Copies of this chain bind each other. A is one copy, B any other.
């Protein structure tokens, strides 16, 4: 039995997104999928289960399934609840790697049951079209679940990368060779924006899916500014290192400098001296380093964007370079006002063969690394979380984090938009995070 025609595209999209998650885990052993390398990262198996829990909880068990759906396993309601206090108890985040059972096979059976029930729900949905309130809620929840699953596709890759990096053998997730890139003709390094009273954010309804944290659309006054057309490269970062960037407190925020000392940072995440045991301080050329990637250790490439940077490092680099980080509003207006729309099909995405940032082919837009902004992650004026437990999705994290914009080589295709607000703590380095510089400008270029 098929879903009503107007829901067919959604069912198709559901099948495709769910399959994409599973494709990422193919080729991994059960052991690869079960381990947790730090409290902030989760096992692959947990991602497979939690995304399923999301559909079970907010679609099937929330009154949208046609007949009495029974939970696959009541224990899963707790085990795979990430942080929704409104739903009930949660297994502690730092202990996700202590759960050998359910096995991966059992989690895959969980996925199958939920998939069947979701698709059956779609098949039984009112055929009256979007006007039906229940159909509308179903559509909204499913779309939220799919966006949520896409977010976890990226996390699955970054969490796995962290796990593999803890293994002294530095194993590859997947064998691959870095694609050859034609040299990009050197263009203007800076792009001017006149600022003014600008609209940023998106209305909650009517123009495609958005998370509640992207709403409401509102006005912001911007002074004229310039933004770099390219993300900062590994060669540029090497110059920062060689100039003592990690040893000069005057370049850093106070908390950043403390973190440099505490964590012993001397280079971006996943960089280490090519020669084991060689002091980082003596590695003043790019060739002295190796970079761990999902394809194992590789040589640095001067033109590739630098990534696995904390906010603190990005901010210090900008100061060293005589520039600053853009605000999220600046970044969004540049993305909106560019002739090349964000999300070009030619950009890197998680479905590609090479899961390490390459220099973007199109200026300004897609950068293959998330770009740190100088904006704290907070509520837009007039922000209201969605009601109920789903209101915990975004709003309660609006403290102590910074907004990142754009997308990365590990972001799923189709999951990129100008208003998208990613956010992480200023010391986090395990995402594909880089930066693009900005600076103030005179009123006309």
B101 touches A31 (CB 8 A): yes
B101 touches A397 (CB 8 A): no
Task: State the oligomeric state as a number of copies.
Answer: 4
The distance in angstroms between the C-alpha atoms of A168 and B74, with both chains bound, is 11
- Bound complex: CA A289 to CA B437 (Å): 51
- Say which residue of B32, B221, B223 sits within 8 Å of A197 (CB atoms): B221
At the interface, yes or no: A75 with Cβ under 8 Å from chain B? yes
Which of A34, A223, A327 has the most chain B CB within a 10 Å cutoff?
A34
Q: Which residues of B contact A381 (CB under 8 A)?
A: 223, 327, 440
Asked if A220 is at the interface (CB within 8 A of a chain B CB), the reply is yes
Check A34 against B37 for contact (C-beta < 8 Å).
Answer: no
The answer to whether A399 has its CB under 8 Å from any CB of chain B is: yes
* A223-B382 contact given A30-B31, A86-B250, CB 8 Å threshold: yes
Give the docked Cα–Cα distance between A399 and B398 (Å): 14
- Which residues from chain B contact A218 at a C-beta distance below 8 Å? 223
Question: Which residues on B sit within 8 Å (CB–CB) of A95?
Answer: 166
| List of B residues within 8 angstroms of A256 by Cβ | 399
Per-position binary interface string of chain A over residues 232-243, scored 1 when its CB falls under 8 Å from any chain B CB and 0 otherwise: 000000000000
* Identity of the chain B residue whose Cβ is nearest the Cβ of A167 in the assembled complex: B99
**Cβ contacts under 8 Å, A221 to chain B:** 197, 219-221
A101-B169 in contact (CB<8A): yes
B100, A32: Cβ atoms under 8 Å?
yes
| A312→B396 CA distance, assembly (Å) | 11
Q: Which residues of A contact B (CB under 8 A)?
A: 29-35, 37, 45, 75, 78-79, 83, 85-86, 91, 95, 97-101, 103-104, 163-164, 166-169, 171, 197, 218-221, 223, 249-250, 252-257, 312, 324, 327, 374, 376, 378-379, 381-382, 392, 396-400, 426, 440
